[in-house]
Every structure is written in C-alpha cells, then in structure tokens.
C-alpha cells in the first residue's frame, strides 16, 4: 500500500531531523564532558585521599615524637599536659583534626579550624561527598589522656572546588555555545531540504512543473539537477500522452482498447458516434457486444492472433450498432504491451466506418452500368439512324429518282400533245426535287455523313455554315482549337449531337442575336465545349425534365462519356453550356 506523505509531514520530518541530530550531538558532548569531569574528579579524589593520609601520617609521627620525648623527660610534666602545650603552639595542622581528651573523656584540646579559604562559599554537598576521602582516625592513649587525630579533607576539597568551579563554568558555556552553533549550522545545511520537499510534494500531487533551484552544496546541486531533469522528462511524457490522448479522442476512427479478456477499457468519441454506446454503457463490456453471430468466430481468431503478438491491418468486416443496425467497418488491431515488462496486456483496435464508401462504390458501379447502357442505347439509336438514312437514300431516293424520270418522260412526251399535262408533269418533277432535297436534309440530320469522311471539326464547320446561311440575322461564331481528327466515333457523334441540340434550343427558345461555339482539345486530353448565346435565358428551376428531353439527353450523353456537364442560365442573361469530356 502506498503511504501518502503530506508536505507538513515532510516539514515535521525536517524539524525532527534537525532536533534529532542536535540531540545526538548534545548527548555526545554531554558524555564527553561528563566523562572528562568524572576523570578529573576521580584524579582529584585520589590526590586528596593521598594528601590527607600523608598529612595525617606526618602529624601522627610528629605527635609520637612529642609523646616519646615527654616520657623520656618526666620533668616536662605529664604527657597530656606536654601534648596540650605542644598542640596549642602547633595550632592548625592541614588536613587533620586533632583532639585531646582526659581519661575521663573531657576535651582538653581541639585543633582550631583552618583559616585557608575561610571566606570562600562552601562547595556544594554533592561535590564534597563525591570527593570526600575515607576517614582515617588514629588514636594514642597517653598517661592521663587520649589523643585522637582524624583526617580533615575540607581544605583540599575547597581548593579542588575552586579549580573545578572554573572548569564547570567553562564547560557549561562551551556546551551551550556549541549546541547553539550546531543547531544553527544544521538549520543552515538542511535549509535546501525545504524547497526539495515542497517540489517533491507538488510533483507527487501531479504538478509536473515543480522545479528545484540551484544549491551551493554539491550533493544537493546534483540532486536538484537530476530532479529537474526528471521533471522535464516527466513533463515531456505527460505532454506526449496528452497529445496521443487527444489524437485518440479526436480521430474520426473509432479507437477501442480491449484487455486480455476482450473487455473494453477505452472508448473514444468517434466510437460513440459510430456505434451509439456511451463510454459509461460500454466500458467493461465484452468486445463481442459489437459483433453479430456471423462474425464472432472471426473476432475470436483476431484476438488469438493479436495475443500472439501479430498485427491486423484494415480488414473489412461488419459490426453491430447499439440500435441493431449493421455497419461496414475497416478494422485494424495492434497488441498493447506493458511498457515495463513488455508483456501483452491487451490490444488497441481502430475501426473506420466504411458504409459511405461502400454506398459510393455501389453507386459508382451503378453509374458505370448506366453509362454503358446509355452508350449502348445511343449506339443503337445511331445504328438505327444510319440504317434509316441508308434506307431513305437507297429506297426512297430510288423511287423519287424514278418519279422524276417518269415525270420528265411524261413532260417531254406531253410537250406537243398537251401543255397542261406537261405543266403537271413539271410540277411533279419540282415536287420530286423538293422531296429529294428534303430527304437529303433528313438524311443529313439522321447521319451526318461528313463525320465519317471529314471528321468532327469539318462537319461542325459545315453544319454551322448551313445554319448561318439559314439564319442570316444571327451571328454564329465558331472557334475550334486542337486536332480533333483522331477522336473516336462515339465521342464524335455525341459531341455533334450535343452541339446540334444546343443550337436547336438556342434557335427555338433564346431569341439570341449571337451564338458562340468554342470547342477546344486541351493539353490534358480533355475536349471542352463552351456553347453560349446572348438570348433571354431561362429559369433553371422551372425546366421540367419529364417533358423536355433535350437538356436531359445532353447530360446523359456526357455522363456516358464520363465527362462533366454544366448549364448556366439566368432570365435575360443568356445561356451557357460547359462540357468537358476525356478523349
């Protein structure tokens, strides 16, 4: 379990660290000073003991000498008297208390108190107790008296206290000063920890912009440098992740992540849009929710492949939406690996909705069929027209010619016999001629023979000339650019028919004064027709294509040739037809 450490914990931790280190140093100092004090006191005690004992011994030897001398010189008087006198003269002896008693126990003499450091305050009791040496009592019984000499260390203790007092004072001052110095120094050295803790806490809370300043201490400087570098790379990683997440969220493809049990753990906005499930509804559900029975096996095999480390690219299949509709998708899978262990932990799956593409493909196919069908019809019509023209020419033409010949014969024969018959026969000849001309013009309309012989450009020029002759008041301007001689027959006839229909419309409906026909074969191999008139134009919305077939026919022809058709017209602003066809 991860323990979350808050900033104030760290702050307390630093404080504790400082206090702890300080306490440790204090303890070491204390041990040092105590052991030093102890050693000094022990030495003093030993020296006091020795001093007191030797002083006692010397005193005893001196008094023994007095006792012996007194006994050898009885004229000096009783020993205790001699002793008393001697002691009174002797006065205070250092480190010894001397008492002289009568045999009855009456105190005859007690040595006076020492005058040494008489005004000094007495040393503390503990000091006195700890330095006090073992008491030595020497007793001598003399005639009529008893001499007792006891050790008295107070003078030595006082002397030692006078010296030790300074030591204790210096030690205490030194101890306090040292402690204060250590406390301040620790505070100074540990100061960089504060911003460090702050930065680490911020980073722990997800603020990857937290950085450390430069520190003077080399160790802290290295830590700060590495920490900042870590921050930079973390920030870069986070930005990269955010970018990837944004891409995953905003891409038009459905992005789905599955775990090893095929359960959905990520579902982007496009997935929701395509399949209709919100993340709340689908997260944690099985991937099989999106498949029909028919595709379950395929999906199972896909997962097996992915879990063995393989990729699957753009497989076209079907999935089911929330509303039960089936959607065509192109699906890709990639294994998802743990960044540390590199073990496969699931997969990333992207799905593209290709229903529209499929519909477009189908309609393209239909269009192509229509185009072929129209072409077939057009070519049948052209065949029919050609055979009709031939029939007209061969059959009717023969009959008309025969009529003309018969009528001429009748006219010739009737010249002398009956001028009336001759006149009638001439009328028949003239009618036959008219029929013949009319028939020829129909044949021309049905099948412009020059298309086969002279090519598209010349045929159009020829036709335009004919129109110009018929409609003298109209200015027809024709411009042809590029070599149109090698265009195929289908294209030729279709372009010719379109110009024919456009011309018919302009003549019939436009009341135009001028007509421009531009036919250009451009460098990209497209044949472009720009047919315009300056007539009254039309309201395109009102053109009923269920009753009028001219414009519709033009469109169908262009569609069958895989070209583009555009009709631009406004009331009183003329009409323009723009066509572009690949050759």
CB 533 to ligand ATP: min, Å: 5
Which DSSP symbol is given to 36?
Answer: H
CA-based nearest residue to 531, from 465, 492, 467, 578: 578
Q: How far apart are alpha carbons 451 and 455 in whole angstroms?
A: 5
| Single residue of 14, 506, 527, 558 touching ligand ATP by CB under 6 A | 506
Applying CB under 6 A, does 551 fall inside the site for ligand ATP? Answer: yes
Q: By rule CB under 5 A, what string of x and - marks binding of each residue 296-335 to Mg ion?
A: ----------------------------------------
Give the angle subtended at the CA of 513 by the CAs of 508 and 517, to the nearest 5°. 80
Binder of residue 538, out of Mg ion, ligand ATP, none (CB less than 5 to 8 A by kind): ligand ATP
Stretch that binds ligand ATP, among 31-39, 131-139, 364-372, 504-512 (CB under 6 A): 504-512
**Interacting stretch for ligand ATP, rule CB under 6 A, among 144-152, 155-163, 272-280, 544-552?**
544-552
432 vs 551, beta carbon nearer ligand ATP: 551
Given candidates 136, 168, 550, 583, which one binds ligand ATP under the rule CB under 6 A? Answer: 550
Closer by beta carbon to ligand ATP, 13 or else 549: 549
Beta carbon of residue 565, minimum distance to ligand ATP (angstroms, whole number): 13
Tokens 């070491």, residue located: 28
* Stretch binding ligand ATP (CB under 6 A), from 341-349, 399-407, 518-526, 543-551: 543-551
Q: How far is the CB of 491 from ligand ATP (least distance, A)?
A: 21
As measured in angstroms, the least distance from the Cβ of 561 to Mg ion is: 19
Main-chain phi, psi angles of 128, to 5 degrees: -60, -45
Cβ-based nearer residue to Mg ion, 482 or 550: 550
Work out the angle at residue 27's Cα, subtended by the Cα atoms of residues 25 and 29, and round it to the nearest 5 degrees: 70
Under 8 Å CB-to-CB from 109, ≥6 apart: which residues? 83, 84, 87, 88, 98, 99, 100
Tell me whether residue 268 or residue 378 sits nearer to ligand ATP (CB atom): 378
Tell me whether residue 302 or residue 505 sits nearer to Mg ion (CB atom): 505
We find the least distance from the C-beta atom of residue 403 to ligand ATP, in angstroms, to be: 32
Size of site (CB under 6 A) for ligand ATP: 16
- Whole-angstrom CA distances from 473 to 394, 470, 477, 514 are 36, 9, 13, 9
Choose among 504, 526, 528: nearest CA to 515.
504
Q: Minimum CB separation from ligand ATP for residue 500, in Å?
A: 11
Q: At what angle do helices 7-72 and 154-190 cross, to 10 degrees?
A: 170
Residues in contact with 450: Cβ distance below 8 Å, sequence separation at least 6, in sequence order: 458, 459, 462
Q: In the set 64, 222, 549, 582, which binds ligand ATP (CB under 6 A)?
A: 549
Among 25, 509, 564, 583, binds ligand ATP (CB under 6 A): 509
Q: How many CA atoms lie within 13 A of 366 on its CB side?
A: 6
Lay out the site mask for ligand ATP across 461-500 (x = CB under 6 A, - = otherwise): ----------------------------------------
Options 20-28, 291-299, 420-428, 528-536: segment touching ligand ATP (CB under 6 A): 528-536
Q: Are 248 and 255 in contact (CB under 8 A)?
A: yes
Residue position matching structure tokens 């204060």: 180
Nearer to ligand ATP, 268 or 463 (CB): 463
Verify binding: residue 510, Mg ion, rule CB under 5 A. no
CA 7/CA 241 separation, integer angstroms: 28
C-beta closer to ligand ATP: residue 192 or 537: 537
Q: Is 259 exposed, middle or buried (0-12, 13-18, 19+ CB in 10 A)?
A: middle
Restricting to residues 437-456, which ones interact with ligand ATP according to CB under 6 A? none
Per DSSP, 430 falls in state H
Confirm or reject binding of residue 550 to Mg ion (CB under 5 A): yes
69 sits in which H/E element: helix 7-72
Q: How many C-beta neighbours within 10 Å does residue 108 have?
A: 18
Residue with structure tokens 């023979």?
Answer: 449
Choice from 231, 335, 535, 563 touching ligand ATP (CB under 6 A): 535
Decide whether 270 or 575 has the Cβ nearer to ligand ATP. 575
CA distance 345 to 81: 117
User: Who contacts 376 (Cβ-Cβ below 8 Å, separation ≥6)?
Assistant: none
Q: Which is nearer to ligand ATP, 55 or 512 (CB)?
A: 512
| Alpha-carbon span 207 to 139, nearest angstrom | 90
β-strands 514-521, 475-481 pairing: parallel
Considering beta carbons, is residue 505 or 510 the nearer one to Mg ion? 505
CB 507 within 8 A of CB 536: no
Position 95 contacts Mg ion (CB under 5 A):
no
Distance (Å) of CA 366 to CA 327, 352, 360: 21, 24, 10
Least Å distance, CB 445 to ligand ATP, is 13
Tell me the window of 68-76, 176-184, 359-367, 537-545 that interacts with ligand ATP (CB under 6 A): 537-545
Question: In terms of CB distance, is 290 or 503 closer to Mg ion?
Answer: 503
List residues binding ligand ATP (CB under 6 A): 505-506, 508-510, 533, 535-538, 543, 548-551, 575
Which residues here bind Mg ion, judged by CB under 5 A? 505, 550
């Amino acid at each position: 379990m991860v323990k979350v450490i808050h900033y104030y914990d760290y702050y307390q931790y630093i404080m504790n660290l400082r206090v702890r280190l300080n306490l440790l140093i204090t303890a070491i100092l204390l041990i040092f000073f105590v052991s030093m004090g102890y050693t000094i006191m022990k030495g003093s005690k030993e020296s006091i003991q020795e001093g007191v004992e030797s002083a006692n011994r010397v005193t005893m030897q001196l008094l023994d000498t007095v006792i012996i001398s007194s006994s050898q010189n009885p004229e000096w008087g009783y020993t205790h008297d001699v002793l008393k006198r001697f002691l009174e003269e002797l006065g205070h002896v250092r480190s010894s208390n001397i008492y002289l008693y009568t045999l009855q126990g009456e105190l005859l003499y007690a040595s006076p108190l020492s005058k040494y450091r008489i005004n000094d305050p007495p040393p503390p009791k503990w000091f006195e107790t700890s330095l006090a040496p073992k008491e030595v009592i020497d007793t001598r019984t003399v005639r009529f008296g008893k001499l007792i000499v006891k050790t008295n260390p107070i003078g030595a203790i006082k002397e030692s206290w006078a010296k030790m007092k300074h030591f204790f004072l210096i030690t205490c001052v030194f101890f306090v000063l040292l402690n204060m110095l250590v406390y301040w120094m620790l505070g100074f050295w540990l100061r960089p920890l504060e911003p460090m803790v702050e930065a680490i806490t911020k980073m722990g809370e997800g603020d990857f912009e937290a950085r450390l300043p430069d520190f003077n201490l080399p160790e802290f400087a290295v830590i700060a440098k590495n920490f900042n570098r870590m921050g930079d790379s973390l920030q870069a990683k986070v930005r990269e992740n955010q970018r990837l997440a944004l891409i995953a969220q905003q891409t038009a493809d459905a992005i789905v992540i599955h775990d090893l049990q095929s359960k959905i753990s990520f579902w982007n906005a496009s997935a929701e849009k395509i399949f209709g499930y919100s993340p709340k509804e689908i997260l944690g559900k099985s991937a099989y929710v999106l498949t029909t029975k028919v595709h379950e096996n395929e999906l199972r095999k896909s997962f097996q492949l992915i879990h063995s480390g393989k990729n699957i690219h753009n497989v076209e299949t079907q999935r089911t939406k929330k509303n039960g509709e089936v959607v065509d998708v192109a699906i890709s899978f990639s294994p998802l690996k743990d960044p540390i262990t590199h073990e496969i932990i699931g997969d990333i799956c992207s799905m593209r909705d290709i229903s529209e593409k499929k519909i477009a493909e189908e309609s393209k196919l239909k269009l192509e069929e229509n185009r072929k069908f129209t072409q077939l019809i057009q070519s049948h019509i052209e065949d029919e027209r050609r055979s009709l023209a031939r029939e007209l020419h061969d059959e009717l033409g023969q009959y008309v010619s025969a009529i003309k010949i018969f009528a001429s014969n009748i006219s010739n024969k009737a010249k002398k016999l009956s001028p009336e018959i001759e006149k009638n026969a001439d009328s028949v000849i003239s009618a036959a001629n008219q029929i013949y001309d009319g028939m020829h013009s129909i044949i021309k309309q049905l099948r412009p023979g020059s298309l086969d012989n002279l090519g598209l450009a010349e045929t159009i020029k020829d036709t335009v000339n004919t129109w110009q002759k018929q409609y003298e008041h109209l200015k027809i301007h024709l411009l042809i650019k590029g070599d149109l001689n090698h265009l195929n027959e289908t294209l030729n006839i279709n372009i010719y028919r379109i110009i024919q229909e456009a011309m018919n419309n302009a003549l019939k409906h436009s009341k135009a004064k001028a007509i421009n026909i531009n036919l250009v074969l451009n460098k990209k191999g497209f044949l472009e027709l720009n047919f315009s008139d300056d007539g009254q134009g039309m309201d395109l919305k009102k053109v009923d294509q269920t009753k009028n077939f001219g414009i519709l026919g033009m469109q169908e022809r262009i569609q069958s040739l895989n070209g583009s058709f555009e009709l631009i017209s406004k009331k009183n602003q003329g009409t323009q037809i723009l066509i572009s066809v690949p050759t």
